[in-house]
Amino acid sequence: MPAQTISPSLARTLLRATGWCGLGLIAIAVALSDFLARAPAGAVGMGAMLEAPSADHPFGTDLLGRDLLSETLHGLSVTTIHALIAALVAIILGGLAGAVAARLPRPLGQSARGIIGVFAAVPALLIAIIIIGLSSRGLAPLAAGLAAAPLAFVRAFDRVDTQSSHAYYARASGIAAATLLRRDLIYEFRDTLASVAARALAAVTIILSTVSFLGFGATPPARDLGLMIAAAKTTYLSAWWTASFPAVALIALIFFARMAAGLEEGERP
């Protein structure tokens, strides 16, 4: 008998389900971080300096003797909370605004698409660094959300514009533009909200962790995963665990978010 193959649609569904399950586990870890952590955030002298992973310290300790299991949990919590704020900004100013613009009168919508498309062509990381440089590091989540918004806008605009040909016929039949806009926001944007949110979460997490690694993001004592990895630069080779465990936590968050977003028809990973 020939081997049965999984259809592309089922594979995408399984991919998304796995991603959301992973994000759910991360959400539980973040919600229980104070309970699961063995020490408060930033608590020094919890063990010997650069102690390797052991029963007492499963993730080892860093240069200041901080318990890395606790620090990784706290760092994951800071990264996740900041990423959620940034993703909300990207969804509203990017995905939602793009869907609305696609339902504006054609010349106005295309003009907005062209202007935002210019910003979407600029690397999001550069935009985030410029915004932080003009404001403050405390606004890093807002900067990451604004940096990710142009690409989200363009994706939403193009998806609605190309996949909703019914709108042209609806206008011809005399349906009011405001009625058509409400209909599309209720059905089309609602149906893609989960994918848009997961994709935005992955994008802003990468931006936030990178700006923190470069010194433009979170400030102590609120250390995120990017800052933890940057702080361990001097011990990458001599004490691998100081950066490895925060990096694994960061990769897991991005990986599960990207899986939850899934792949659209014909899209490459």
Check residue 179 and give its pLDDT.
64
Number of domains in the chain: 1
Per the model's pLDDT, the better-predicted residue between 172 and 64 turns out to be: 64
198 in a structural domain: yes
141 in a structural domain: yes
Q: Does the pLDDT at position 40 exceed 60? A: yes
1 in a structural domain: no
Domain that holds residue 188: 10-49+58-261
CATH number assigned to the domain comprising residue 135: 1.10.3720.10
Q: Does the pLDDT at position 171 exceed 60? A: no
| Kind plus residue range of the DSSP H or E element containing 9 | helix 8-31
Contact 199, 54 (CB under 8 A): no
266 in a structural domain: no
148 in a structural domain: yes
221 in a structural domain: yes
CA 44 to chain centre: 30
Confidence category of residue 220, pLDDT binned at 50, 70, 90: confident
Give the burial class of 156: count Cβ atoms within 10 A of its Cβ; 0-12 exposed, 13-18 middle, 19 or more buried: buried
Contact 205, 23 (CB under 8 A): no
* AA letter at 252: A
Confidence category of residue 158, pLDDT binned at 50, 70, 90: confident
Check residue 194 and give its pLDDT.
84
Q: Does the pLDDT at position 254 exceed 50? A: yes
pTM of the model: 0.86
161 in a structural domain: yes
Confidence category of residue 262, pLDDT binned at 50, 70, 90: confident
